[in-house]
Amino acid sequence: MTRALTLVLFMLASLTMLAQTVTDIDTRAKPESGPVGYLLSSSARLSEDEAALSAEFVIADPGGLRAGRPFEYELMVTNRSKGPVLIPRALNWQDVEAGDGEPNSWAWVDLRVDIGDGLPGGLPHELKLYGSKDKTWSEAVLAPGETMHILGSGMLPTSMNINGKQVGKATLKGMFHLGTMRLYHTPTAQYPDAYRTESHWVFSAAANEGYAIDLEMVP
């Protein structure tokens, strides 16, 4: 009887753990790369659903946010829709590149510097993730209600201009964009490795959290 009860409790605990599965993508201190070659042009079509996903931006050590210093962050993305959402996981485009003009899943962790004028600017380094339907390891299925933790690292610049204004005190925020990207190889005599891209942004989520930064402070 005791063994049977223990087995039942173990099965219930396992089911609970499965129902609360959290997927992590740890990009910290890992090499990453986008398409190789000369970018001739890039276009984007925007039809972003801002309700299907939600985001939470966490910096464990906000006191360490100083100009010229690295920092680590966590962006938690939760599926609020009624259907599954595919999240790309690959850090290197070459690992998942599909055929010319074929769609690849594409995500962008957008760290924004807001100086309060309504036109924020992005940090110089942008984390991008890629996926392909032909490489199942490169995409994670985020079921309704599930959360993905994206662990990343960045560095505040020692100086920055946004719309012609020198950045001093500002707020660091996090956003998540998700969609597809098609790449077309378009070689020219001058640029034999040239290409162009077409992106379609399908989902976006802006985190409410913001962290005070001051790029005029000495590191």
Cα 163 off chain centre by: 24
Mean pLDDT over each residue of the chain, to the nearest integer: 86
- What residues does 166 pair with on adjacent strands? 161
Instruction: Give yes or no for residue 37 having a pLDDT over 50.
Output: yes
Instruction: Compute the average pLDDT of residues 3-13.
Output: 43
Average pLDDT, integer, range 73-78: 96
Q: Residue 16: CB partners within 8 Å, gap ≥ 6?
A: none
Q: What is the pLDDT of residue 183?
A: 95
Instruction: Summarize pLDDT for 103-150 with one digit per residue, the tens.
Output: 999 999 999 988 887 778 888 778 999 999 999 999 999 999 999 999
Q: Is pLDDT larger for residue 55 or for residue 48? A: 55
How many angstroms separate the CA atoms of 114 and 166, rounded?
Answer: 12
**Which pLDDT score is estimated for 150?**
96
User: How far is it, in rounded angstroms, from Cα 70 to Cα 154?
Assistant: 6
Domain spans of the chain?
21-214
Run of H or E residues at 158: none
- Which pLDDT belongs to residue 68? 87
Q: Residue 123 burial by CB count (10 A; 0-12/13-18/19+): exposed, middle or buried? A: middle
At 8, is the pLDDT very low, low, confident or very high (cuts 50, 70, 90)? very low
Its pTM stands at 0.83
Average pLDDT over residues 4-33: 58
Evaluate if residue 156 carries a pLDDT over 70: yes
Counting residues of the chain whose pLDDT is more than 90, the rounded percentage is 61
As given in the structure block, the two tokens for residue 191 are 């640029």
pLDDT at 9: 40
The model's pLDDT over 162-217, given as tens digits with 9 standing for 90+, comes to 877 788 888 999 999 999 999 999 999 999 999 999 999 999 999 999 999 888 76
The pLDDT of residue 219 is 57
pLDDT band at 23 (very low <50, low <70, confident <90, very high): low
Please report the pLDDT score of residue 14 as a whole number: 42
Total Cβ atoms within 10 A of residue 4? 8
pLDDT at 218: 58
